[in-house]
Homo-oligomer: A and B are copies of this chain.
Amino acid sequence: MVNPALKAIRGSFVDFVDDPFYRPESESVRYLQDGLMVLQDGKILEFDHYAILSDRFSQIPTQTYNGLILPGFIDLHVHYPQTEMIGAYGEQLLEWLNKYVFPTEAKFKDIDYARQIAAFFLDELLRNGTTSAVVMTTIFPNSVDILFEEAQRRNMRLIAGQMMMSRNAPEFLVNEPHKSYQENRELIAKWQGQDRLLYAITPRFAITSTPAELEFAAKLKQEFPELYIHTHLSENPKEIEFTAALFPENKDYLNVYEQFDLVGDRSIFAHCVHLNDSAFERLSLSGAAIAYCPTSNLFLGSGLFKLHQAKSQEFPVKVGLGSDVGAGTSFSQLKSMGEAYKISQLQGESLSAFKAFYLATLGGAKALSLDDKVGSFDCGKEADLVVLDPDATPIQSLRNQASKGDFSLEAIASQLFGMMILGDDRSIKATFIAGELVKC
Contacts and interface: CB of A to CB of B under 8 A. Distances in A.
A348 B95 CA distance: 13
Contacts of A303: 346
Contacts of A352: 89-90
Interface string A332-366: 00000010011011111010110000000000000
Given A89-B414, A399-B86, A346 B394 contact: no
Contacts of A32: none
A348 B299 contact: no
Contacts of A348: 92, 301
Contact of A345 (B83, B92, B331, B398): B92
A120 B345 contact: no
A124 B344 CA distance: 28
Among A92, A350, A421, max chain B CB count under 10 A is at A421
A298 to B, nearest CB: 4
Nearest to A425: B393
A292 interface: no
Interface string A391-424: 0011100110110000000000110011001101
Contacts of A17: none
A159 to B, nearest CB: 22
Given A331-B395, A394-B124, A395-B331, A86 B422 contact: yes
Interface residues of A, number: 47
Contacts of A132: none
Contacts of A399: 84-87
Nearest to A117: B398
A330 interface: yes
Given A301-B348, A345-B299, A346-B298, A417 B87 contact: yes
A329 interface: yes
Interface string A141-175: 00000000000000000000000000000000000
**Within the oligomer, what is the number of copies of this chain?**
2
Nearest to A413: B89
Contacts of A347: 301
Contact of A329 (B299, B338, B393): B338
A300 interface: yes
Contacts of A83: 395, 398
A306 B386 CA distance: 40
Contact of A418 (B87, B300, B418): B87
Among A87, A345, A346, A401, max chain B CB count under 10 A is at A87
A98 B90 CA distance: 39
A85 B394 CA distance: 13
A396 B113 CA distance: 18
B422 A87 contact: yes
B350 A421 contact: no
Contact of A424 (B91, B345, B394, B424): B424
A91 B417 CA distance: 13
Contact of A89 (B124, B350, B401, B422): B350
Nearest to A325: B395
Contacts of A338: 329
Interface in A78-134: 83-87, 89-92, 120, 124, 127
A92 B347 CA distance: 11
B329 A422 contact: yes
B346 A395 contact: no
Interface of A: 83-87, 89-92, 120, 124, 127, 298-301, 303-304, 329-331, 338, 341-342, 344-348, 350, 352-353, 393-395, 398-399, 401-402, 413-414, 417-418, 421-422, 424-425
